[in-house]
Chain A
Amino acid sequence: MQSRGKARFRGSEAANGLAMISPTALYATLLLAAPLVTIFLYSFWTDGYLTIVHEFTLQNYIDVWSNEAFRAVMLRSLGVSLAVTAVTVLTAFPVAYFVSFHVHPSKKSLWLFLITIPFWTSYLIRVFLWKVILGYNGVVNSGLMGLGITDEPVTFILYNVNSVIITLAHAYAPFAILPIFVALEKIDRSFLEAGRDLGESPFMTFIRVTLPLAMPGVISSVLIVFIPTIGDYVTPLLVGGPEGRMVANLIELSYKKLDNYPMGSAIAISAMGIVVAVSLLFLFLNRRYLKGGK
């Protein structure tokens, strides 16, 4: 009986399915789930001087959330990533719209290819290049002074929040353009003609037809930009200066400089919780659009 049941399972669709996803599942478990669970566990333990005290406690979270510095950095991270998201998506939309609606179909792939050019260079190098562009003796400042617009270098664009926003917005532009482009491409052009046919001007057709139908792409862009930027580590470190530090830098500080793994883990989990909450808020607000269409 039992062996027959086993044989049936082995030949069944479910078994085939499991066999097929097992490499991916293994990969996901080892490289994603396991580290996450480790950090989650660490966040409830305590840092003994040389060991970790394996006792459940909420003290780390209480410490983190009552810490003024953490709250300030967390708020700044939120503010920066929201600003980056807004700037990126707002500038990405016209680009995606142009490529989708005004570029000849045979040239679209070329345009998308060109848009990905910034990715040909390593992220680190791109951030360094922004330092060169925005710096005290950088391209922007020498340009401004050369043209006589300013007498001395402007300083509000380096080693602060502004430079972090500029650098991140540039880095994530293609990520924002592509989902919006895909959403715009999916819009049947007869919808736009129908909008015109039913008496709406091109602008009102855009507002009433194109924009709502492109919303799924816009929301994807928002999430794709928002989620990684809030945890970005390299950019604030290199161009943020002291007042541009973000939450990832704080986590690094706890782990490495302070050698307090549980505290770092608690900050990481807290930041993750906030990202999840904000993302869910986006999804909830736009559920209507995501639900529409097929």
Chain B
Amino acid sequence: MTLAADKPTMIEFKDVHKYYGDYHALRGITATIKAGEFFSLLGPSGCGKTTLLRTIAGFEGISSGAVMIDGKNMEGVPANVRPTNMVFQSYAIFPHLTVAENVGFGLRKDPRSKAEKAAAVAEALEMVGLKGYGARAAHALSGGQRQRVALARALILKPKVLLLDEPLSALDKKMREQMQVELIKLQRQVGITFILVTHDQEEALVMSDRIAVMFEGEIAQLADPETLYRRPNSRKVADFIGTMNFLPAQILSEHGGKVEVDAQGFGRLTLNADQVSSAPGGTGASIGFRPETLTILFDGQTATDRESMATVEEVVYYGDMTYYDIKLDGTTEAMRLSMRNVFGRPVLDIGTRARVAWAPGALVLFR
């Protein structure tokens, strides 16, 4: 992960709105994407992330606002002259062409000689790990190979921005994880701005420098993966990314950025300003925490910060991890807690009383 703050702006959305008839698909998107950044648009289906990506590519017009690429307003600039290339969700590998013809498709107007172009195609294929596949028929490729061809076909044109529309969703789990790592390496190698659209929060967290979480045509939060995970700015973002437990809380006082709350199961706490979500959620305040931020204490262990008592309600054993649903004393709902399994440590039974350690710094207040 690199800090991109000092890099020049590659893409800028200025209050972008998009209507499909009466349907308001993009509702005032304002954001900047830096050059060389691996940026993800994350959200559930129908949130407008693909539409936003397509406004960069030039496949969708916008109703108002502006999309700037490298300082130029893209209004009226057709897709074929924009400095962007796309890896389509379906890969869109031309079935009537060979692998090499597919990769070299965009080189027709390239002034280089035939031999030089062929060398460029071979080089692009090698970069994506398909050396020697040039003569194969495109329709005989597997899903993973298609995706590599799509990547090579886009990258050979040396675009300023590479757009990836859910490129990994058609692959099986193993292949997907492998491609995630390969894509990160590839992006570092070519240094091109990558913009990824995905509905898979894990994928976004693994791959991105920064992530824009979108709901209903709006960016709910734009931050680096760790901030997004540790300090989600709304219950909705917290719910969408990973698992977040919520317990009802009451705000007692606010002064100097610090907030004093009375949270069920945790008691009276003072939280820092960065632990308080900015977006109001509606129905009362609550305290949120991730499953791994609470730890069950076994015999002889002592809490480094705070300690509460709880009852184990459910146990789910995963091999490397065990998930416990526990009920903290003084609460009515069970919370999800995850523990890494260590050799020699027992898995607790349902109904066991347990000591639980936690730290106020890991909690987030949603109002």
A positions within 8 Å CB-CB of B: 188, 190-191, 193-201, 204, 208-209, 212-213, 215, 288-289, 292-294
Chain B contacts with A in 114-145, Cβ cutoff 8 A: 137, 139
B31 at the interface (CB under 8 A from A): no
A194 to B78, CA, bound (A): 13
A198 touches B157 (CB 8 A): yes
* Cβ contacts under 8 Å, A201 to chain B: 80
Q: Which of A195, A196, A212, A292 contacts B78 (CB 8 A)?
A: A196
B95 touches A213 (CB 8 A): yes
Q: A200 CB to closest chain B CB, in angstroms?
A: 6
1/0 per residue, CB under 8 A from A, across B142-180: the answer is 000000000001100100000000000000000000000
B192 at the interface (CB under 8 A from A): no
A194 to B154, CA, bound (A): 10
* Cβ contacts under 8 Å, B58 to chain A: 196
Q: Which of B89, B90, B106, B139 contacts A199 (CB 8 A)?
A: B106
B139 touches A293 (CB 8 A): yes
Given contacts A190-B88, A191-B92, A193-B92, 17 further A-B contacts (CB under 8 A): A190-B92, A193-B88, A195-B105, A196-B78, A196-B80, A198-B157, A199-B108, A200-B108, A201-B80, A208-B105, A289-B96, A292-B95, A292-B97, A293-B96, A293-B139, A294-B95, A294-B139
Chain B contacts with A in 92-112, Cβ cutoff 8 A: 92, 94-97, 105-106, 108-109
Chain B contacts with A in 231-253, Cβ cutoff 8 A: none
B79 at the interface (CB under 8 A from A): yes
* Cβ contacts under 8 Å, B85 to chain A: 197-198
A65 to B144, CA, bound (A): 59
A292 touches B96 (CB 8 A): yes
If A212-B96, A292-B139 touch, whether A198 touches B88 (CB-CB below 8 Å) is no
A193 to B95, CA, bound (A): 15
A277 to B293, CA, bound (A): 78
Q: A233 CB to closest chain B CB, in angstroms?
A: 38
If A199-B109, A200-B108, A201-B80 touch, whether A194 touches B95 (CB-CB below 8 Å) is no
In the complex formed, the residue of B with least CB distance to A187 is: B95
A194 to B151, CA, bound (A): 12
In the complex formed, the residue of A with least CB distance to B88 is: A190
If A191-B92, A193-B59 touch, whether A198 touches B139 (CB-CB below 8 Å) is no
Q: B99 CB to closest chain A CB, in angstroms?
A: 13
If A293-B139, A294-B139 touch, whether A197 touches B94 (CB-CB below 8 Å) is no
B207 at the interface (CB under 8 A from A): no
Q: B363 CB to closest chain A CB, in angstroms?
A: 45
A/B interface sample: 9 pairs, CB < 8 A = A188-B90, A193-B57, A193-B59, A197-B59, A197-B154, A198-B80, A198-B153, A201-B80, A293-B139
A194 touches B88 (CB 8 A): yes
B86 at the interface (CB under 8 A from A): yes
* Cβ contacts under 8 Å, A215 to chain B: 96
A191 touches B94 (CB 8 A): yes
* Cβ contacts under 8 Å, A193 to chain B: 57, 59, 79, 86, 88, 92
A208 to B96, CA, bound (A): 10
In the complex formed, the residue of A with least CB distance to B105 is: A198
A194 to B58, CA, bound (A): 12
A198 to B124, CA, bound (A): 15
Q: A250 CB to closest chain B CB, in angstroms?
A: 41
In the complex formed, the residue of B with least CB distance to A188 is: B90
Q: A34 CB to closest chain B CB, in angstroms?
A: 41
A198 touches B106 (CB 8 A): yes
* Cβ contacts under 8 Å, B96 to chain A: 212-213, 215, 288-289, 292-293
B79 touches A292 (CB 8 A): no
- What are the 3 closest A-B residue pairs judged by CB atoms, nearest first? A198-B106, A194-B92, A292-B96
B139 touches A197 (CB 8 A): no
A284 to B117, CA, bound (A): 31
